[in-house]
Structures are given as structure tokens and as C-alpha cells.
Homo-oligomer: A and B are copies of this chain.
Amino acid sequence: MQIGVIGLGRMGGNIARRLMKAGHHCVVFDTNPDAREALAKDGATAVSSLGAMVDALTGKPRAIWVMLPAGRITEETVAHLGELLKPDDIIIDGGNSYYKDDIRRAKELSEKHIRYVDCGTSGGIWGIDRGYCMMIGGPKDAVDHLDPIFSALAPGTGDIPQTPGRDEGDSRAERGYIHAGPSGAGHFVKMIHNGIEYGLMQAYAEGFDILRNKNSADLPPEERFDLNLPDIAEVWRRGSVISSWLLDLGAAALTKDPQLQQFSGFVQDSGEGRWTIEAAIEEAVPVEVLASALFARFHSRQEHTFAEKVLSAMRFGFGGHTEGSGPVGLSRTESAKGEE
């Protein structure tokens, strides 16, 4: 079928390519002409404005996949499309919007009988070949109408073993996409997916940190081990309880550079990790691990927090402690023997 794709970055461009490979026809737009041309070479119809896209989409209802950074730009694009499109047309937000924005937008657009579908899309740069895992929210008729699109983007069953007892369930889940519920439900599930992702990554990261520091000069010599992290990551991929795709990626990175020297250790976070904690708080669900994983990223972006200075100031207040300053002070693992 015919579909518009707005936003031709790493994700959007590859989504269009995977759709075209499956026989769908893509009308594409990006503010960057180079991105448009690249897709045109791969067979897409490139247009130079939203209006031109709406005109170029000849099938009815029109369907337009918006794949832009969450926030202002997605908001404005959806609003603009809301003015250009006609009743029954469908807007799919495939980015990482906040699910409460979806609920609001769907309500606003429904007054014009335009259908809004929120689609959380996981897969990263690998999705073009591996397929995208999609979590979809919105009206059933729109989701059903788009089934050929979702089916083409999804990984399909592949060689992943069937879960025992799945015979009676919705087969879409086994092919890599679900209709999670009404508007917002798709991005909500994707948001929790990313929250979990943060927790998983931090668990591996802390574990490798302990392994690496097992050779610290501050430990008793007989308890030091100089461990081979690439081999450890590799062996855990093989029959262990903690094998996973994230571990596969970690093993690849450690194999390439066991010290990970190319990485500064400055780690970004996107909105989903934050919203996950807020959702948990709204539900009164305790989420120590997911919250700690988020805070670890906040830590990574600061040399020293003000909180740390407050600690030092209090210690100085009661103990007259003068804190070291790294290299010339206390070693990283040595604990002070001061009086408190």
C-alpha cells in the first residue's frame, strides 16, 4: 500500500526502505534535501513539503508515518498534518512521544475525524534487517487498516522458538507487533520497554565494573584477578541465564576494545526513562532499580554534584576533614580512617 513517511533520519529512512522492500510505496519528506534524494534513489517518491505529501498520497484514506524527535517538532508536524488531512486519514506517530500527548492529540484530531495512531518502535539501526518491534495504540479500525504496514516492518516469527501455550493468542505478538490498546497505550508500553532497557543495561554495566576492578591495587594481592572481560561477555552468551541481545552488543564492544577507551562515560537519557519513573510514582509502584538506572545516567553527566559538596561541607563541619581531590588525595578504593 501507499504511505507517507516524514523524517528520514536513521530510523525513518530505514523504515521507508524496509517498507519499499516489502512492496509498499513510500512518499517521503525531510527538511534535509540530501535525505530526501537518498530515499528517492532507493525508489521513494520524494516531496518537498507536507502539503506536497498530502497531494501525492492518492489512495484513500491517506496514511502518514511521522518519525521525528519527540517534543516540539513532532507536535508541530502533527498539528500541521491535522490541518491538511481529511476525515478518515491516519497519522502514525512512530517516534517516542509522551503517551499523555498522544491521548490529547488523538482527542483533538478525532474532532476532525482524523485518526491518530501512536506506535512505539524498537529496533535501532539494526531494524532495517532484523525488523522492528512495534507497540501500537489507537482506534482498532485504523490499526487494522495499517496491518500490511506493521506486518512488513515487523521481524516476523523468524527462528525464535514459540512460547509454549501461545497457540490461542494474538498471532501479531509472535510476528513482532501488538495493538496494545487505545490512544497512548502504544507509546506507554514502549516507554516501559525503554525503562526496563535502562535497568538491564545498568545491571550489566555494574557487573562488568566489579569484574574490571577486581584487579585493583587496593585489594589483598591473593584476592585480585585480572579478568578477561571480552571472554566473560562471550561465555555468558552461551547457555547462561543472562544471555540477551544487549549482552551480544556488550560482547561485541568489549571484543573490539576491552577498555572501551573510545567512550567518555558521558551517557544521555531520553524522555522514556524519566516518564517511566513518573508513571510508577503515579501508580505507587516501587521501582528502585529503574530509578537507580536513570540516576546513574544523571551522575554520568556531571563531574561533581552539588550534593557531593554538601556532604564534604558537613564532614568538614563535624570532623574537620579535608577531602582529597583524586590523584593527590585518597585513592578511589581506599576508605578513610577518619573520626566521625
Contacts and interface: CB of A to CB of B under 8 A. Distances in A.
Nearest to A153: B239
B287 A200 contact: no
A278 interface: yes
Contacts of A154: 238-239
Contact of A267 (B184, B282, B312): B312
This chain's copy number in the assembly: 4
B280 A206 contact: yes
A227 B193 CA distance: 13
A127 interface: yes
B289 A289 contact: yes
Interface in A259-305: 260, 263-272, 274, 276-305
Contacts of A159: 159
A213 interface: yes
A206 to B, nearest CB: 4
A313 interface: yes
Given A301-B330, A317-B253, A192 B204 contact: no
Contact of A300 (B196, B197, B304): B304
Interface string A250-264: 111111100010011
A269 B310 contact: no
Given A200-B244, A201-B314, A299-B286, A336 B270 contact: yes
Interface string A198-215: 111111111111111110
Contact of A122 (B192, B216, B241, B284): B241
A267 to B, nearest CB: 5
A133 B295 contact: no
Given A174-B238, A242-B245, 12 more contacts: A69-B337, A122-B236, A123-B239, A123-B241, A180-B228, A181-B226, A244-B245, A246-B318, A253-B316, A265-B308, A278-B278, A286-B305
5 contacts: A100-B223, A159-B159, A181-B225, A199-B200, A219-B283
